[in-house]
Amino acid sequence: MNILITNDDGIHAEGIHVLCKELSKIGQLTVVAPDSEKSSISHAITLSHPIYYKKIYRNKDFFGYGVYGTPADCVKLAFDVLLQEKPDVVVSGINLGCNDGCSVFYSGTVAGAREAALMGIPAIAVSLNTFQDPVFEPAAKYTANLLKQLTDLKMPKGTFLNVNVPNTKIKGVKFVRQCTIPIHGTFKKTYNPTGKAYYWLTGKKPKHRKNNEFDTYALNNDYVTVVPIKSDVTDDTFLEQLQNLDS
């Protein structure tokens, strides 16, 4: 199995190193990830300046390619420049911090998987539900196990999996829907030394539906959550209604 690995925390982040250690047991890896943190950059691509990459070594051994770009850039560059053939699967992560619910619209980690899905390649985004004292190994092991199971289950083209893993004792796994309650952010006003106001956006997790059929609630109750997400976001039902309108 040929596996392309990316993330949005950057090629030097602990999560991607732990993931690679585990996935190297089941496949041949190519790592193409941002050379610095690109959290919450969503599905941005770089058009305003050139994209560079450099080879990254760990303990004198080649590890992967650090890209001066976004996670989506990394996948595009890998497919078009760095890989001789397309991978069997793309894995993006392991992200420090969860990407459940509406976070999928802001996450660079999720975008890395979505970009692969747009190109017709099966993909998984993996995130850990903590920002403090992370233990990435269980998430890495679950990802490897999921990949082995997916070899017998063909993923639909244009679909990818969004996986979130608790940082505590795992109760089990839930295959669920995405929670769509929006994230309500507030802006904190501060002043620079010249007296000019500027603002910090502070995100606030939404109240979640108390239902294990949705990812946010199941994750907060210590279940691994797996959500299949389509890259085609057309509302087919409303499209039919629109097509009945006078042109």
Express each pLDDT in 164-180 by its tens digit.
999 989 999 999 999 98
> Please, which residues bridge with residue 129 across strands?
166
Q: What is the pLDDT of residue 182?
A: 83
CB 179 within 8 A of CB 217: yes
In the predicted structure, residue 207 carries a pLDDT above the cut 80: no
The residue behind tokens 């910090």 is: 200
Q: What is the pLDDT of residue 152?
A: 84
What's the pTM? 0.94
CATH topology of domain 2-182+209-242: Stationary-phase Survival Protein Sure Homolog; Chain: A, (3.40.1210)
Over residues 126-151, the pLDDT tens digits come to 999 999 999 999 999 999 999 999 98
Q: What is the pLDDT of residue 10?
A: 98
47: Cβ contacts below 8 Å, ≥ 6 apart: none
In the predicted structure, residue 206 carries a pLDDT above the cut 70: no
216: Cβ contacts below 8 Å, ≥ 6 apart: 100, 101, 179, 181, 206, 208, 209
The residue behind tokens 């699967």 is: 89
Domains of the chain: which residue ranges? 2-182+209-242
